[in-house]
């Protein structure tokens, strides 16, 4: 059964998405009229209706990919050791697994990987990680999903005699690390058509270019190079959805092709095992499964212990090993949920008394609790964002004395990485580490500077908020008719994806009559409702929502997604309620 977003009380401002008439008319006339409306509202052109690998942006256009691939080819011909420096989230884990899979297949000499412990070494290629890497005696370090702000780490690696290739997608500052080998779609002079490419997407492009050059030299066959890289599209799909990057057309191609492989039974044992342990069928995989069922289990390792377990699951060569790793990840995920529920409950208490525990001004919300686990603060920030509809940062203590580690989550229209960068620029002599992208970012700062940072953040948000207008707007795709609330149309909408960040799943708005309600799973509300204009009863799920103080036949305004509910062998249409209100 689906277990997704919380149904909240309806905000004051619902608006229907603008639907460009020209795009509607350009889409095929035999397409379902609601689907035409939905796709036109997301600026989908006829050329983007059928994502395929042949439509990907050319590999050679990605900034830095040529010199980086050339250096890797040199490492392969010289027999040099290559060590991958990964990251402790799902994007970093999938990028690490993809790169290691390709390097092994391409004949590199015993490539390895190293992932920093987030609790002791922190994020990215730090001097400490460089010291650990040196013990492995590689000639070349290859970062994935990190490195663009690793100034000290790159210097330390070079001092120790190691070269560094950086592959990253996080936003670059005015200064770059001291290496001439950087692959990143978000360099300041980049003209690459998909700045939303995530860490595993960047790794995919680099491995494709490396494989092509090795094949030209006759070091591998062209078929092996091609099949190895395309065989990793399941990893690319998982990391892209998990990292909440915008699903522009290029990313939709990558996710679509990866999901096709998973559905066709051509995924790796580790991803298959994660689907099974989550109670999901790989044969009907959707982007929502990757984001809400698979990624949290993978991320649990990096949040609570060490992402090495997650990477080993993705690299498992046989079903038995993969099932064992997936079971461990599932257990960690249950532990993570328990810890998360406690911390989110505490966050809601703190939100109720902001004058003492937090700071909210101009919509910015920063919360710190010394009892919190630093691996879970990102999920707490996500929950605060859900409650307030505003950007949020949750802080916890880290292992460095006197330092706090914060994780930020944003809302559409506000680039939280830039928000943090500009706020920090207005706090004199504050030395911090930060990085991220539009919707998620992280930072480490002294506890003594928290109050000043909060004030600067609120000022910066007010500055960018003014031209954006009021917060709390919910955009919908209008209403559905009673005869459209059925399984076939729900499946048609699902097939039109993949849906995700900046390419939102259709959200509809109608008035229904309440026929029945009951609590399921202790915290979720299952409703039976009927469209105000008639039609059959349909099930609606409002997750994490208490019972309604309403009598039978009371009118309710529901903002909902029309979903396909899989329960045992049965498939039915179901409304997943995002917002509800009395009429």
Q: Taking each helix axis as running N to C, give the angle between helix 249-263 and helix 233-242, from 0 to 180 degrees, rounded to the nearest 10.
A: 120
End of a domain among 423, 447, 471?
471
Q: Please give the pLDDT value at position 354.
A: 52
Q: Are residues 108 and 126 in the same domain?
A: yes
CATH code for the domain in which residue 417 is found = 3.10.310.30
Confidence of residue 22 (pLDDT cuts 50, 70, 90): very high
* CB within 8 Å of 156: residues ≥ 6 apart: 127, 130, 131
Per DSSP, 76 falls in state H
Total number of residues shown for the chain: 583
Compute φ and ψ for 300, nearest 5 degrees. -60, -35
Percent of the chain predicted with pLDDT > 90: 64
Percent of the chain predicted with pLDDT > 70: 93
Q: Please give the pLDDT value at position 355.
A: 43
Is the pLDDT reported for residue 376 higher than 60? yes
Rounded to whole angstroms, the Cα distance separating 421 from 168 reads 18
Q: Are residues 432 and 481 in the same domain?
A: no
Residues 116-129 have pLDDT tens digits of 887 777 778 999 99
**The model's pTM:** 0.87
Q: Are residues 251 and 389 in the same domain?
A: no
Rounded to whole angstroms, the Cα distance separating 31 from 53 reads 23
Is the pLDDT reported for residue 10 higher than 70? no
Q: Are residues 453 and 489 in the same domain?
A: no
Which residue in 128, 121, 122 sits closest to 156, CA to CA?
128
End of a domain among 471, 501, 527?
471
Rounded to whole angstroms, the Cα distance separating 178 from 4 reads 43
When pLDDT is averaged across residues 386-410 and rounded to a whole number, the result is: 87
Confidence of residue 353 (pLDDT cuts 50, 70, 90): low
Q: Are residues 459 and 486 in the same domain?
A: no
End of a domain among 262, 278, 297?
262
Is 333 or 583 the better-scoring residue by pLDDT? 333
Chain mean pLDDT for the chain: 89
Q: Taking each helix axis as running N to C, give the angle between helix 222-230 and helix 90-105, from 0 to 180 degrees, rounded to the nearest 10.
A: 160
Q: Please give the pLDDT value at position 367.
A: 85
Rounded to whole angstroms, the Cα distance separating 178 from 155 reads 7
Q: Are residues 359 and 486 in the same domain?
A: no
Give the domain range for residue 432.
353-471
Is 1 or 74 the better-scoring residue by pLDDT? 74
Q: Are residues 420 and 458 in the same domain?
A: yes
What's the number of domains the chain is made of?
3
**Most confident range, picked from 165-179, 212-226, 298-312, 556-570:** 212-226
Is the pLDDT reported for residue 285 higher than 90? yes
Residues 429-452 have pLDDT tens digits of 566 777 777 788 888 889 988 988
CB 508 within 8 A of CB 557: no
Is the pLDDT reported for residue 1 higher than 90? no
Q: Are residues 389 and 467 in the same domain?
A: yes
Confidence of residue 472 (pLDDT cuts 50, 70, 90): low
Q: Taking each helix axis as running N to C, give the angle between helix 295-304 and helix 308-315, from 0 to 180 degrees, rounded to the nearest 10.
A: 140
Q: Are residues 417 and 497 in the same domain?
A: no
């Amino acid at each position: 059964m689906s277990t997704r977003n919380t149904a909240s009380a309806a905000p004051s401002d619902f608006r229907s998405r603008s639907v460009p008439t020209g795009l509607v008319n350009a889409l095929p006339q035999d397409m379902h009229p609601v689907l035409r409306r939905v796709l036109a509202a997301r600026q989908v052109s006829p050329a983007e209706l059928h994502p395929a690998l042949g439509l990907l942006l050319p590999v050679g256009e990605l900034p830095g990919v040529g010199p980086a691939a050339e250096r890797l080819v040199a490492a392969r011909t010289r027999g040099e050791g290559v060590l991958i420096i990964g990251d402790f989230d799902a994007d970093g884990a999938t990028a690490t697994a993809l790169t290691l899979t390709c390097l092994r297949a391409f004949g590199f000499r015993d490539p390895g990987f190293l992932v920093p412990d987030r609790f002791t070494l922190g994020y990215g290629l730090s001097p400490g990680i460089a010291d650990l890497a040196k013990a492995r005696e590689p000639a070349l370090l290859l970062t994935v999903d990190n490195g663009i702000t690793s100034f000290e780490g790159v210097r330390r690696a070079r001092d120790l005699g190691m070269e560094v290739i950086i592959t990253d997608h996080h936003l670059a500052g005015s200064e770059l690390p001291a290496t001439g080998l950087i692959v990143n779609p978000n360099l300041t002079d980049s003209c690459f058509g998909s700045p939303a490419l995530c860490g595993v997407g960047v790794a995919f492009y680099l491995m494709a270019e490396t494989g092509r050059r090795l094949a030209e030299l006759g070091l591998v066959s062209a078929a092996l190079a091609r099949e190895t890289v395309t065989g990793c599209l399941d990893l690319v799909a998982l990391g892209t959805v998990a990292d909440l990057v915008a699903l522009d057309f290029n990313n939709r191609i990558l996710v679509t092709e990866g999901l096709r492989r998973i559905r066709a039974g051509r995924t790796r044992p580790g991803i298959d095992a994660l689907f099974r342990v989550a109670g999901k069928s790989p044969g009907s995989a959707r982007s929502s499964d990757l984001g809400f069922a698979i990624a949290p289990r993978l991320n649990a390792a990096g949040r609570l212990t060490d992402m090495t377990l997650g990477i080993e699951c993705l690299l498992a060569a046989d079903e038995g090993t993969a099932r064992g790793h997936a079971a461990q990840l599932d257990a960690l995920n249950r532990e993570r949920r328990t810890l998360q529920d406690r911390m989110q409950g505490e966050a809601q208490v703190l939100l109720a008394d902001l004058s003492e525990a937090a700071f909210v001004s101009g919509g910015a919300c920063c919360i710190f609790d010394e009892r919190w686990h630093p691996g879970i603060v990102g999920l707490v920030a996500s929950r605060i964002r859900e409650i307030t509809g505003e950007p949020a940062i949750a802080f916890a203590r880290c292992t460095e004395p006197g330092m706090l580690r914060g994780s930020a989550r944003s809302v559409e229209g506000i680039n939280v990485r830039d928000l943090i960068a500009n706020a920090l620029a207005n706090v004199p002599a504050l030395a911090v580490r930060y990085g991220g992208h539009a919707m998620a970012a992280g930072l480490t700062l002294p506890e003594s500077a928290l109050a000043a940072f909060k004030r600067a953040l609120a000022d910066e948000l007010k500055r960018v908020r003014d031209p954006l207008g009021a917060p709390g707007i919910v955009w919908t795709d209008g209403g559905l008719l009673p005869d459209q609330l059925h399984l076939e149309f729900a499946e048609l909408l699902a097939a039109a994806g993949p849906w995700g960040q900046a390419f939102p799943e259709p959200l509809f708005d109608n008035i229904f009559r309440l026929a029945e309600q009951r609590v399921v799973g202790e915290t979720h509300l299952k409703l039976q409702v009927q469209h105000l204009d008639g039609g059959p009863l349909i099930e609606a799920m409002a997750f994490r929502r208490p019972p309604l103080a309403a009598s039978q036949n009371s009118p309710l305004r529901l903002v909902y997604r029309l979903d396909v509910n899989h329960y045992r062998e049965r498939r039915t249409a179901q409304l997943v309620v995002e917002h509800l209100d009395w009429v």
